[in-house]
Amino acid sequence: MGAVAALGCAAPAVSMREGPREYVATDYENVLARWTRTESLLLLGELDNALTVTATYESWDFRWAYAIRYAQDYRLTIVQRQRLLSQTLGETREHHHFFVALYGGRPRHNDLTNPDSAWIVRLIDDTGTETAPERITALKKPSALERRYFPYNTVWRQAFRIRFPRTSPSGRPTISGQARWFGLRFAGATGNTDLVWTIVPEEKEQSI
């Protein structure tokens, strides 16, 4: 059965650089958009949407903006904000985290935690690295917090948090330092689609 991935508008390149940011709470929506990708898999001849998936890569940059927005919304003290930043940024050094929401086809086939799911998901990059998730957590009833900070996560979608190791058992980075892009690949019997984040080249990092 033929399938084709729908093409979207070109997304901005992203910086993997760590370090302090000067974000304020109102920057969150723009940062969320920069780190979020959406793709659809359409079945040719049936005009049917097999899968639409939106994912946010919770990078160092994204988590910094998230923490600043959260601290503003919940009126955290300076000490509480520093503690939140330290914890959430530390997690990005241990794993690659993605927030994913999807719909299409039969909902029961879209449960990524089910061994019989219609889809498998892999972390990929352009050097040929392909990595299976270390953990997939289904959000059966996403909280008000998750709906607020990931507004694409509507009641019509199934939401997941997906965690990948930063290095393979052999010690190889799961996103290569030489990669020009990385992404999430959703593949199944009906086809596959990739959500891609293009990486800003190192020589341009200082201007980000």
pLDDT digits (tens, 9 = 90+) for 29-48: 999 999 999 999 987 655 57
CA dist 107 and 78 (Å) reads 43
Is residue 54 situated within a structural domain? yes
End-to-end CA distance of the chain: 43
CA angle in degrees (0–180, nearest 5) for 154-62-68: 95
Alpha carbon separation from 150 to 20, 106, 131, 204 (Å, rounded): 23, 23, 25, 29
Q: Which residues of 119-141 are buried (b: 16+ CB within 10 A; e: fewer)?
A: bebbbbbeeebebebeebeebee
Of residues 5 and 70, which shows the higher confidence score? 70
Q: Give the residue numbers spanning the domain of 81.
A: 3-119+135-164
Concatenating the DSSP letter of every residue in 39-89 gives EEEEETTTTEEEEEEEEEE--HHHHHHHHHHHHHHTT--HHHHHHHHHHHH
Does residue 128 form part of some domain? no
CA distance 107 to 117: 10
Asked whether residue 141 is assigned to any structural domain, the reply reads: yes
The reply to whether 197 falls in a domain is no
> Is 115 part of a structural domain of the chain?
yes
- In-domain check, residue 179: no
Extract the tokens encoding 190.
Answer: 């009906």
Tens digits of residue pLDDT in 90-99: 999 999 999 9
Question: What is the distance between the alpha carbons of residues 174 and 127, in angstroms, rounded to a whole number?
Answer: 10
| Residues 159-195 pLDDT 10s | 999 999 999 999 999 999 999 999 999 999 989 999 9
Average pLDDT, the chain: 90
Number of domains in the chain: 1
| Count of alpha carbons within 13 angstroms of residue 52, beta-carbon side | 12
Question: pLDDT tens for residues 97-138?
Answer: 999 999 987 788 899 999 999 999 999 999 999 999 999 999
Which pLDDT band holds residue 144 (cuts at 50, 70, 90)?
A: confident
Is 172 contained in some domain?
no
Residue 186 lies in a domain: no
Spatial separation of the C-alpha atoms in residues 7 and 2, rounded to whole Å = 16
